[in-house]
Chain A
Amino acid sequence: DVKVTQSSRYLVKRTGEKVFLECVQDMDHENMFWYRQDPGLGLRLIYFSYDVKMKEKGDIPEGYSVSREKKERFSLILESASTNQTSMYLCASSMSGRGTDTQYFGPGTRLTVL
């Protein structure tokens, strides 16, 4: 079974802090994704990566950056956390970039920025 893990289930940070959210997948998947989920807005793509050190902006990249130094790990970075980044963050991975490939999701990190 594909396993996608995220470093924390719950996280509380203060405004202005630098925040790292880590995601690890164990199936040698090429593509990895970061989403945020907010009530009434659904899952929105922040960034994705299709290979090590390769990344592309999603639909809402402002205020975020990412890092993929190893194939299995994809990090989301909030350079200076703000209250409007309070949200549920989900990581996903897929085998390749085909439009029919299933995305496998992690359990999510609920981030609160005070």
Chain B
Amino acid sequence: ILNVEQSPQSLHVQEGDSTNFTCSFPSSNFYALHWYRWETAKSPEALFVMTLNGDEKKKGRISATLNTKEGYSYLYIKGSQPEDSATYLCAPKDLVTGGGNKLTFGTGTQLKVEL
């Protein structure tokens, strides 16, 4: 089982604040990293899948960067809005644990954006 750590565990910000959180994973045998957003009472939804060191992905006000050499990814949210309130999960995939696209999910960062 991959060791995946996400920090912080939870975060409260005010509307309009920008925020970021971290996903750490083993750098050896890296293959891909997935980010998902999970809103309360809904299904987890894919945000990004990243594969290359230095990769940067963007979707609206949300962006993510990837450092495969040191084993971390940052997720940034610019100008947070209440609808960004959700748990953000990362899931790395390596080359050795096998199982196709079996993913190991982190415990997530729970973001609450207050008015």
**CB within 8 A of B1: which of A59, A101, A105?**
A59
Q: Which of B42-63 contact A (CB under 8 A)?
A: 42-46, 49, 51
Report the interface size class on chain B.
Answer: 20 to 34
Report yes or no: B106 in contact with A42, Cβ–Cβ below 8 A.
Answer: yes
- Give the nearest-CB partner of A101 in chain B: B101
Measured in the bound complex, the distance between the Cα atoms of B42 and A107 in whole Å is 6
Measured in the bound complex, the distance between the Cα atoms of B89 and A35 in whole Å is 14
Residue B13 lies at the interface, judged by CB distance under 8 Å to chain A:
no
Number of interface residues of A (CB under 8 A): 30
Chain B contacts for A59, CB-based, 8 A: 1, 104
Chain A contacts for B106, CB-based, 8 A: 42
Report yes or no: B101 in contact with A100, Cβ–Cβ below 8 A.
Answer: yes
Can you pick out 10 interface pairs between chain A and chain B where the beta carbons lie within 8 Å of each other? A41-B107, A56-B102, A98-B101, A99-B93, A99-B101, A100-B101, A101-B101, A102-B46, A105-B43, A105-B44
Name B's A-contacting residues (CB within 8 A). 1, 31-32, 34, 42-46, 49, 51, 89, 93, 99-108
Name A's B-contacting residues (CB within 8 A). 4, 31, 33, 35, 40-45, 48, 50, 56, 58-59, 90, 94, 96-108
